[in-house]
Amino acid sequence: MRKILLAFLFGICCLMSQPGYGQLNKAYFFWVGRGFLIDNRYQEAIETLNILLKVDTDAYEGYFLRGIAKYNLDDLLGAEADFSTAIEKNPVFTTAYQYRAITRSRLGNYDDALKDFREAIDLRPDLPGPYYSRGVTYLLSLQFEKAIADFDQFIRQENKVADAYINRGTAYLFLKDTVRAYEDYNTAIRTNREDPNGYNRRGALYMAQQQYDQALADFNKAIACDSTYLLSYFNRAIVYSYTDRPLLSLADFDKVIELDSTNSQTYFNRAIVRSQIGDYNRALEDFDRVALYSPNNVLVYYNRAAIYSRLGDYPAAIADYSRAIELYPDFANAYLYRSSLRYMLKDTKGARQDRDIAEKKIAEYRSKLRDSTFSIYADTSRKFNQLLSFDTKMSGANFERITNQEGDRIAMMPLFRFTLVQPDTVATVDPKRYYLERVDKFQKEIGNPYMRLTTKECDLPTDSLVAIDQRLEKEAMANNYDWRTLFERGITQSLIKQYTNSVNTYSAAIARNPTNPFLYLNRSTTRSEMIDFISSIDNSYQRITIDSDPVNRLKNNSSRTYNYDESIADLNKAAKLFPECAYIYYNRANLHALSGRLPEAYEDYTKAIELNPNFAEAYFNRGLVQIYLKDTRKGCLDVSKAGELGIQEAYTVLKRYSVIEH
């Protein structure tokens, strides 16, 4: 569906004739935002359209375009909200209904999507686009006859769109009408001979019917059309495997992994092929990778156990069979194989118990199937050793790419503190910071042009920081340890990782000026940084993050705990001295989250947002907290708002959490 979203952008020109766009500045921002969309510069489009919508809150076209930008960044909830606002401002905005329907379809909300399509078609029954999109929604919701009817309607008006024939052919295939499916796939190929999708679909149908030569020819043609289309290599690898050409199969699986290093189906299939040719160690490596990405997938443990068994590592094999049984308690074959291994390890009691359970389960299912010779569980070894097709949904898996090969994590936005940065750095990266007169007055009182309240890392060289610290030490002695100089030196000592000295220096400054909230703010941040630094040394603690594995839980992986109470106490004092400062509540929320007190964190993020409605970092972190607390929809709405306000990491989170797998 993504492809068609920008197809109508050029048609939006007519919207500029509306009276609301009579002023030049509004027209300028509209056209610039539209240009960014056409160039696929979606975040810049959002920033530009934000300016337009701030000036004119009734500019429904602006909400519509911003919705398209969010959609293309996988911010589906944000896109839905913007399309809804566009419809609210203009109830006859046909295209907004269509795109909201597309968005709702991707969210799995088919009922509301179909209502929107109905509205769009009622408003403009002559437009072909809504019929196509509704056909896709019918296809996804398994209403195949209705999907075919809509694709028929679309094709009557637009008969040169290959995807329409492909989708209709797929609907026929689900209805087991392979003749018409072939006809549509053939027509799609004739319509666009350079599109690999048509060849792939037809090749997959040939492969399903064991016509491997024809399938191979189609996959070769698909690769000739697009050498980066991984589905072509994947399918061809399966054909090579089925036709006893394992080395060619492995080469194609290698190519898929080169194109997509996190594709678990490919690692799984490559492991199967490697095990078939006796390359057990490398097969284990592949199964280990799949287990990391999909820890609840019974197929991985069952097959990996067999390899451990062949390698003579019986305890590891038993552990994997046990895990498979834990995930799939009726898995008779897992009991049988575990029974055999237990016999080999002289555990006759456990072996006998496993065999009794297996035989009981097989008997139960034979009677249910009324089949005296066979059961689905008696044949699990054959079933579970088969290659998985690319469309197979492995249990518990979500294979959307979200991290790189090294397993990068999506961390919470960091703490705010006064630090030293180049002045032009903050000017370019912090344009939306809300103004606090007391902060401005404090910075002027300190008088250091490099000092700013920010989350950014210090960008001054270490040798410069050491020189500044030495200068401040002399100045402190010369001016009888004035609190201002002590505060500056507390910053430099923290930046060169002399955390204990930094905390002591802040404490000395506080003793001389106990009513200044910013001294407590920075001492709090330094105390928490010291905890993090200690934890990085003993390597037993990790920040709360969205983990890179498919469980993706906000979690604390500590094996020992670290106490942030002193840091939080400093922020409690700061909040009493300056209750209007959103940064204080934001920092305290972060420390509550790091301490595992998520409800308290949520409350403080909310307070920070009340004080600063454009607090992007607070929206982002509050969203992560809500996702962990299982309120994924509200969490995604917060993360969406953070993305709208400029947090680029938001779209990585939304890509993972806002899309429903079909």
pLDDT of residue 432: 53
Question: How high is the pLDDT of residue 72?
Answer: 87
**Model pLDDT, residue 19:** 44
Two structure tokens written together for 13: 């020109």
273-384 shares its CATH topology with 415-657: yes
C-alpha to C-alpha distance for 72 and 658, rounded to whole angstroms: 13
| Per-residue pLDDT at 24 exceeds 70 | no
Mean pLDDT of 289-293: 86
Q: Confidence class of residue 543 from pLDDT cuts 50, 70 and 90?
A: very low
As a whole number, mean pLDDT of residues 354-378 equals 61
Of 123-132, 405-414, 459-468, 652-661, which one has max mean pLDDT?
123-132
Kindly report the CATH number that applies to the domain delimited by 415-657. Answer: 1.25.40.10
* pTM, entire model: 0.57
Task: Assess whether pLDDT exceeds 80 at residue 545.
Answer: no
Which range is least confidently modeled, 153-157, 241-245, 264-268?
A: 264-268
Domain 2-237, CATH number (from 2.40.50.140, 1.10.3720.10, 3.30.1310.10, 1.25.40.10): 1.25.40.10
Lowest mean pLDDT among 32-41, 57-66, 141-150, 570-579: 32-41
Question: What would the two tokens of residue 394 be?
Answer: 């492995």
- What does the pLDDT average to over 135-152? 90
Stretch 251-264: mean pLDDT, rounded? 89
Which pLDDT score is estimated for 332? 82
The predicted structure's pLDDT at residue 146: 92
Q: Which two tokens stand for residue 540?
A: 């037993």
Mean pLDDT of 197-202: 93
Mean pLDDT of 5-9: 43
Confidence (pLDDT) at 186: 95
Decide which of 31 and 82 is more confident. Answer: 82
pLDDT of residue 364: 66
- The count of other CB atoms within 10 Å of the CB of residue 55 is 13
Question: Which of the pair, 576 or 593, is modelled with greater confidence?
Answer: 576
Q: Are 604 and 588 in contact (CB under 8 A)?
A: yes
- pLDDT value for 27: 78
Residue 74 has pLDDT above 80, yes or no: yes
CB count in 10 Å sphere of residue 397 = 21
- Measure the CA angle with vertex 56, ends 55 and 61; round to 5°: 130
Residue range 189-210: average pLDDT? 92
* Residues contacting residue 462 through CB under 8 Å, at least 6 positions apart: 496
What are the phi and psi torsion angles at 255 (to 5°)?
-65, -40
CA torsion sign for 22, 24, 29, 31 is positive
Q: Is the pLDDT of residue 52 over 90?
A: no
Q: Name the average pLDDT for the chain.
A: 81
Which stretch of 73-87, 374-388, 565-579, 622-636 has the lowest confidence by average pLDDT?
A: 374-388
So what's the pLDDT on residue 662? 37
* 3-state class (DSSP) for residue 451: strand
What integer pLDDT is reported at residue 387 of this predicted model?
57
pLDDT digits (tens, 9 = 90+) for 389-429: 544 433 332 222 222 333 334 578 889 999 999 876 444 43
Q: Is residue 361 predicted with pLDDT exceeding 90?
A: no
pLDDT at 552: 28
Task: Of 4-8, 375-379, 645-649, give the lowest mean pLDDT range.
Answer: 375-379
Ranges 108-112, 192-196, 341-345, 567-571: which has the least confidence? 108-112
377 pLDDT higher than 60: no
Q: What is the pLDDT of residue 514?
A: 95
Q: If pLDDT is split at 50, 70 and 90, which confidence band does 189 have?
A: very high
Residue 358's pLDDT is 86
CATH for 273-384 is 1.25.40.10
Task: Provide long-range contacts, Cβ within 8 A and 24+ apart, for 307-310.
Answer: 307/275, 307/280, 307/283, 308/284, 309/337, 309/341, 310/280
pLDDT of residue 557: 34
So what's the pLDDT on residue 388? 53
Domain boundaries, the chain: 2-237, 273-384, 415-657
CA distance to 327, 343, 379, per residue, from 321 (Å) = 10, 14, 16
Q: Would the pLDDT of 282 be above 70?
A: yes
Q: Is the pLDDT of residue 534 over 70?
A: no
pLDDT of 585 > 90? The answer is: yes
Given a contact cutoff of 8 angstroms between Cβ atoms, the answer to whether 76 and 17 are in contact is: no
pLDDT for residue 250: 94
Mean pLDDT: which of 51-65, 276-290, 294-308 is highest?
276-290
- Residue 94's CB is within 10 A of a number of other CB atoms, namely 18
3-state secondary structure 388-432: CCCCCCCCCCCCCCCCCCCCCCEECCCCCEEEECCHHHHHHHCCC
Is residue 185 over pLDDT 80? yes
Say which residues have a Cβ less than 8 Å from residue 134's Cβ, sequence separation at least 6: 101, 114, 117, 121, 150
pLDDT at residue 540 above 70? Answer: no
Contact in structure between 508 and 482 (CB atoms under 8 Å) = no
pLDDT at 262 over 90: no
Instruction: Tell me what pLDDT residue 14 has.
Output: 41
Q: How far apart are CA 102 and CA 130, in angstroms?
A: 9
Where residue 562 falls among pLDDT bands split at 50, 70, 90? Answer: low
Q: How confident is the model at residue 593 (pLDDT cuts 50, 70, 90)?
A: confident
Confidence of residue 76 (pLDDT cuts 50, 70, 90): confident
- pLDDT given for residue 218 in this prediction: 93
Give residue 236's pLDDT: 95
Whole-number Å distance between alpha carbons of 567 and 588: 8
The answer to whether residue 191 scores a pLDDT higher than 50 is: yes
Would you say residue 660 has pLDDT above 50?
Answer: no
Listed range (272-281, 301-310, 460-469, 503-512) with the worst mean pLDDT: 460-469
Condensed to tens digits (0 to 9), the pLDDT of residues 452-497 reads 999 888 888 878 888 898 999 999 888 888 999 999 999 998 888 7
Taking Cα atoms as reference points, which of 297, 243, 309, 300 lies closest to residue 269? 300
